């Protein structure tokens, strides 16, 4: 019996030494709430809305943030950004209308300018939206560059724009991956 116990103990010690990855502590709720990704997106909305009276952009529709290289395509990153912008705008006193706008938010005119599509203008009119939040992201080597704009729904006039960058950390890398067949 002593031999068996010694063998089992030795085996356990040897196998423990074979573990290749050190165990890392999982994040806490406090760490998650203070995550820099969340704060960067809140700060972007704070900057975008700074000094604007809520009535100027209320009601607001928030479109899905799209890949600048293909304006018909988004990713989990684009959808996550849109959700966070909606929350931040509502927290700032903006009347945000819940809509899942995706796809043809922009149309390319012959001038190369990006404008609101006729479909989005119609949706904004139906929901009596004064403005639409639109935006793009561009994946680069170490950063994802994000551009967001508040656009007057009737005229397409850009009321305000804001640019910022997100570091290409592990979470952002996973969010920019597009599931196959995603539009």
Domain count, the chain: 1
Per-residue pLDDT of the chain (183 residues; tens, 9 = 90+): 566 666 656 666 666 655 566 678 898 999 888 899 999 999 999 999 999 999 999 999 998 898 988 877 778 999 999 999 999 999 999 999 876 544 444 444 433 334 456 666 777 777 788 999 999 999 999 999 999 999 998 888 899 999 999 999 999 999 998 666 544
Q: Specify the pLDDT at position 80.
A: 95
146 within some domain: yes
CATH code: domain of residue 82: 3.40.50.10610
Instruction: Identify the DSSP state of 80.
Output: H
pTM of the complete model: 0.76
Q: Which domain holds residue 71?
A: 35-176
Residue 182's nearest CA partner among 72, 31, 69, 35 is 72
63 within some domain: yes
2 within some domain: no
Report yes or no: 147 and 172 within 8 Å, Cβ to Cβ. Answer: no
Q: Specify the pLDDT at position 7.
A: 62
Q: What b/e string do you get for 87-125 counting C-beta neighbours within 10 Å, with b at 16 or more?
A: bbbeebebebbebebbbbbbeeeeeeebbbbeebbebbe
Helix, strand and coil in the chain, % to nearest 5: 40, 25, 35
Beta strand 131-139 pairing with 66-67: parallel
CA distance 63 to 101: 5
29 within some domain: no
28 within some domain: no
95 within some domain: yes
6 within some domain: no
3 within some domain: no
Q: Specify the pLDDT at position 81.
A: 96
Q: Specify the pLDDT at position 3.
A: 66
């Amino acid at each position: 019996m002593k031999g068996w116990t010694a063998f089992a103990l030795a085996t356990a010690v040897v196998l423990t030494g074979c573990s290749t990855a050190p165990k890392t502590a999982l994040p806490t709720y406090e760490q998650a709430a203070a995550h820099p990704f969340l704060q960067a997106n809140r700060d972007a909305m704070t900057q975008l809305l700074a000094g604007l009276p809520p009535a100027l952009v209320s009601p607001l529709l928030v479109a899905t943030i799209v890949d600048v290289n293909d304006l018909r395509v988004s990713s989990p990153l684009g959808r996550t950004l849109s959700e966070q912008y909606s929350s931040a705008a509502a927290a700032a006193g903006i009347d945000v209308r819940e809509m899942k706008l995706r796809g043809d938010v922009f149309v390319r005119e012959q001038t190369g300018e990006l404008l609101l599509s006729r479909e989005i203008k119609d949706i904004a009119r139906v929901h009596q939206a004064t403005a639409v939040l639109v935006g793009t992201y561009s994946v680069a080597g170490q950063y994802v560059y994000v551009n967001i704009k508040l656009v007057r729904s009737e005229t397409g006039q850009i009321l305000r724009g804001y640019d910022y960058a997100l570091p290409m950390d592990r979470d952002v890398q996973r969010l920019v991956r597009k599931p196959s067949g995603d539009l």
